[in-house]
């Protein structure tokens, strides 16, 4: 902790004063006290002190007198005016000037009369004399010929003098900034009254008869880190996808998490003994659901429903269809919507959680989001599906898209879109196809249905650079805080 006087001196040095005498004058302190403070501050590394010894010149007593009165020759010159007989000059001091008057060529004596000549411009010696009248000075600021002239006349004497020069260090500047002005009270918080009626000059304030100095801060210092409340980065990605679908004229649909096997599997023409329906892949519930009139679905599974399909053969059980499951995909929601809206055109999408009975690890979670969309209209074809997919991926920021044959149980033809990603190459992203007739016919849907789906978490891994899917659901709060709102999309 600095003493009051040390603090004031530090502040003065920080303000750019370097001479102890001037500081003493300004702070109304003794020069010795200023020097003692400065030495203490120098020991703490707040101030740098440079000491030097210089020759300084000052006027002798006679020089002082001449300084005030003027040199004898100057006074004599004034005395004689335009000319004066020698006999009239009585003052002995003036007489001293006579020799110098002649020497400087300012006057001549003719027949006992002194007469000025020329302009008698002010000499260098007179300038030095005037200058030294202000105080002792070193030779740098004085004309050397003038100085020599005065020295030869015994008007100037020289002596050795010590000089102190103070400079603030960066640490000193930091400390000084916390102390505030040497004379004014340092101010951190600006009170309301100071805003309303204070007398401000820069950061200086006169308020209620007191002086204040609004302390300057080191604006480059690091701040405490704070975070805004934010949407989950994954949710932002989902919203981006929702936005794309809405922009492209799709309506959003939602459905229940708990679904009957009928809507989740049977309506999609998945045979009842299909491996995907086994306990090891699907979360079954110990409950049965009401299902709609199933006669056409049953007929389709068993015999092909009169649309030229072979069907799966065997016998289809409504009891198996009533078994409830946690939806394994959002497609069950889609086909239910289409069954309720069989007339074209229909363009709908959904993004929701789906459930698979998978052990949890870095790339598998038992629940994850799926994006799904369908276009049902007169005259739409597989080629239109490719066109839609290309546009969607382009809007997602994937500029290169290609299509490979794929297989999905309820679409024919089926396609696996792949996007090109720098550093990874071609990456499979989602699946698509035209709903099989075996799927649409039992519900009276007569137009072709272009359908496609996408694992949203896979896109999140690519876009957010995730290595572990669990982070999306069991989030590290610091990751949520630090992930910037603005992500490349």
Partner 1 sequence: MPVVRLYYEDMERLIGASRDTIMSRMAMMGADIGKRAESDHVDVEFFPDRPDLYSPEGVARAMQGFLGLKTGLVKYPVQKGSVVLQVEESVKSVRPIIGCAVVRGLQFSSEAIESLMGLQEDLHWGLGRNRRKVAIGVHDISRVKPPFRYLGADPERKFVPLDFTEELSMREILKEHPKGKDYGHILDGCERYPLIVDANDDVLSFPPIINGDLTRVTDDTHDLFIDVTGTDPMVFKALNIVVTSLAERGGKIESVLVKRSEGDFMSPNLEPARWVVSADEANQLIGFDLTAEELADCLKMMRFGARAEGSMVEVMVPAYRADIMHSWDIFEDAAKGFGYDKLVAELPKTVTIGSAHPAELRREEVREITIGLGYLETMPFTLTNEKVHFEWMRRMPAPAGTTRVLHPISELHTILRTSLLSSLLEIFAINQHHPLPQRIFAAGDVVVDKKTRMHLAAASIHSSASFSEIRSIADAVMREMGLGDGMRIVPSQDGAFLPGRGADLLKDDRKVGLFGELHPLVLRSFGLEQPVVALEIEWGEL
β-partners of residue 43 are none
Cis peptide before 64 (omega within 30 of 0): no
CB 420, min distance to partner 1, A:
14
Phi and psi angles of residue 436, each rounded to the nearest 5 degrees, phi first: -60, 150
DSSP assignments along 222-266, one per residue:
PPPP-------HHHHHHHHHHHHHHHTTPEE----SEEEHHHHTG
Which letter does DSSP use for residue 22 in this model?
H
What distance in Å separates the CA atoms of residue 434 and residue 196, rounded to the nearest whole number? 73
* Count of residues in contact with partner 1, rule CB under 8 A: 95
Cis, peptide link before residue 345, omega less than 30° from 0: yes
Contact call for residue 402 and partner 1 (CB under 8 A): yes
Within 417-446, the residues that bind partner 1 by CB under 8 A are 428, 434, 436-438
391 touches partner 1 by CB under 8 A: yes
Residue whose token pair is 């302190």: 29
Q: Taking each helix axis from N to C terminus, what angle separates 31-43 and 20-27, rounded to the nearest 10 degrees?
A: 110
Applying CB under 8 A, which of residues 53, 359, 465, 467 lies at the interface with partner 1?
359
255 touches partner 1 by CB under 8 A:
yes
Q: Give the x/- contact pattern for partner 1 in 124-163, rule: CB under 8 A.
A: ----------------------------------------
Residues with Cβ within 8 Å of residue 387, at least 6 apart in sequence: none
Residue 60 Ramachandran class (φ > 0 left, ψ -120 to 50 alpha, else beta)? beta
Among 182, 253, 432, 459, binds partner 1 (CB under 8 A): 253
Phi, psi of 67 (to 5 degrees): -60, -45
Residues within window 176-195 making contact with partner 1, judged by CB under 8 A: none
For position 413 contacting partner 1 by CB under 8 A, the verdict is: yes
**Binding of residue 366 to partner 1 (CB under 8 A):** yes
Residue 146, CB-side half-sphere exposure with 13 Å CA sphere: 20
Residue 250 interacts with partner 1 (CB under 8 A): yes or no: yes
**Among residues 247, 340, 422, 488, which is the contact residue for partner 1, using CB under 8 A?**
247
Helix (H) or strand (E) holding 392: helix 382-395
Q: How many CB atoms lie within 10 A of CB 355?
A: 19
Q: What is the DSSP letter of 2?
A: -
Interacting residues with partner 1 between 308 and 327 (CB under 8 A): 308-311, 313-314, 324, 326
Which residues between 262 and 291 bind partner 1 (CB under 8 A)?
A: 273, 275, 279-280, 283-287
Q: Which of the ranges 71-79, 189-197, 202-210, 352-360 carries the binding residues for partner 1, by CB under 8 A?
A: 352-360
Residue 252 interacts with partner 1 (CB under 8 A): yes or no: yes
Site for partner 1 in 328-347 (CB under 8 A): 345-347
Rank residues 17 and 375 by Cβ distance to partner 1 and give the closer one.
375
Are 301 and 262 in contact, with CB atoms under 8 Å apart?
A: no
The answer to whether 392 and 455 are in contact (CB under 8 A) is: no
CA distance 170 to 167: 10
Q: Print the binding letters for residues 209-238 with partner 1: x by CB under 8 A, - otherwise.
A: ------------------xxxxxx-xx---
Q: Which of 217, 479 has the CB closer to partner 1?
A: 479
Whichever of 170 and 249 has its CB closer to partner 1, that residue is: 249
Among the residue ranges 1-9, 83-91, 196-204, 350-358, the one whose residues contact partner 1 (CB under 8 A)? 350-358
- Our CB check for partner 1 shows the closer of 200 and 283 to be 283
Contact set for partner 1, span 450-489 (CB under 8 A): 450, 472-478, 480-481
Strands (E), 169-273: 185-187, 199-201, 204-207, 210-214, 251-252, 258-260
Q: Of the ranges 45-53, 79-87, 202-210, 383-391, which one interacts with partner 1 (CB under 8 A)?
A: 383-391
| 384 contributes a contact to partner 1 by CB under 8 A | yes
CB of 421 to partner 1, least distance (A): 13
């Amino acid at each position: 902790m600095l003493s009051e006087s040390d603090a004031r001196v530090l502040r003065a040095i920080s303000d750019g004063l370097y001479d102890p005498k001037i500081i003493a004058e300004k702070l109304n302190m003794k020069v010795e006290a200023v020097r003692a403070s400065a030495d203490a501050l120098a020991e703490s590394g707040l101030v740098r002190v440079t000491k030097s010894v210089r020759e300084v010149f000052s006027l002798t007593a006679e020089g002082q007198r001449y300084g005030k009165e003027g040199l004898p020759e100057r006074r004599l010159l004034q005395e004689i005016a335009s000319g004066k007989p020698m006999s009239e000059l009585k003052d002995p001091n003036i007489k001293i000037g006579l020799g110098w008057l002649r020497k400087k060529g300012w006057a001549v004596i003719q027949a006992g009369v002194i007469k000025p000549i020329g302009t008698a411009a002010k000499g260098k010696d007179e300038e030095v004399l005037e200058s030294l009248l202000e105080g002792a000075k070193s030779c740098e600021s004085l004309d050397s010929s003038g100085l020599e002239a005065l020295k030869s006349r015994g008007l100037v004497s020289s002596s050795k003098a010590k000089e102190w020069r103070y400079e603030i260090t960066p640490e000193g500047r930091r400390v000084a900034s916390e102390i505030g002005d040497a004379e004014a009270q340092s101010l951190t918080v600006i009170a309301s009254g100071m805003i309303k009626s204070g007398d401000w000059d820069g950061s200086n304030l006169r308020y209620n008869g007191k002086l204040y100095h609004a302390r300057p801060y080191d604006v480059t210092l690091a701040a405490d880190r704070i975070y805004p409340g934010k949407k989950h980065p994954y949710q932002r990605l989902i919203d981006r996808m929702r936005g794309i679908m809405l922009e492209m004229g799709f309506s959003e649909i939602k459905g229940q998490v708990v679904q009957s096997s009928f809507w989740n599997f049977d309506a999609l023409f998945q045979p009842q003994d299909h491996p995907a329906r086994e306990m090891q892949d699907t979360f079954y519930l110990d409950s049965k659901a009401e299902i709609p009139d199933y006669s056409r679905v049953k007929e389709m599974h068993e015999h092909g429903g009169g649309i030229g399909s072979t069907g799966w053969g065997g016998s289809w059980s409504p009891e198996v269809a009533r078994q409830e499951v946690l939806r394994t995909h959002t497609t069950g929601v889609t086909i239910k919507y289409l069954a309720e809206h069989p007339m074209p055109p229909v363009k709908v999408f959904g993004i929701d959680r789906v459930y698979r009975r998978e052990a949890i690890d870095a790339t598998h979670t038992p629940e994850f989001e799926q994006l799904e969309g369908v276009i049902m209209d007169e005259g739409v074809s597989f080629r239109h599906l490719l066109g839609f997919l290309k546009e969607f991926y382009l809007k997602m920021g994937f500029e290169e898209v290609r299509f490979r044959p794929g297989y999905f149980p309820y679409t024919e033809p089926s396609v696996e879109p792949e996007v090109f990603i720098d550093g990874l190459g071609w990456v499979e992203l989602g699946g698509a196809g035209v709903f099989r007739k075996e799927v649409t016919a039992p519900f009276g849907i007569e137009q072709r249905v272009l359908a496609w789906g996408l694992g949203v978490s896979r896109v999140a891994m690519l876009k957010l650079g995730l290595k572990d899917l669990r982070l999306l659901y069991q989030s590290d709060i610091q990751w949520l805080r630090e992930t910037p709102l603005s992500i490349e999309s």
